[in-house]
Amino acid sequence: MSEKSKRDHDPDDANDRELINMEFESMVEGLSLDESSPSTYLDELENFVDQNKFVAPTPPRKSLSANLKSALSAFKKWKDGKTDRDGDGVAL
């Protein structure tokens, strides 16, 4: 006789199965299949995404003269910078 057929008739195995079935039934008993909740998991997930959406900052507007001064300053800073060109952002 195989081990499986011996286990099917084992009283301890039957008691274990009965306990497992009772635990399962008690867990299922507590579940509610009522779908009348105001929001679903997908609704909550959509709200979560909306609340955490990245909003890019809007820099303050500059006048034309302020833009030109800023560009001239950046150019001078670049021109008067390091003499060796290893640090100019280009890597080979």
Over residues 13-52, the pLDDT tens digits come to 888 899 999 988 888 887 766 666 677 778 777 777 666 6
Contact between 70 and 62 under an 8 Å Cβ cutoff? The reply is: yes
Give the model's pLDDT for residue 72: 95
Q: pLDDT tier at 1 (50, 70, 90 boundaries)?
A: very low
**Residues 6+ positions from 87 with CB-CB distance below 8 Å:** 81
Over residues 72-86, the pLDDT tens digits come to 999 998 888 766 655
**Residues 6+ positions from 62 with CB-CB distance below 8 Å:** 70
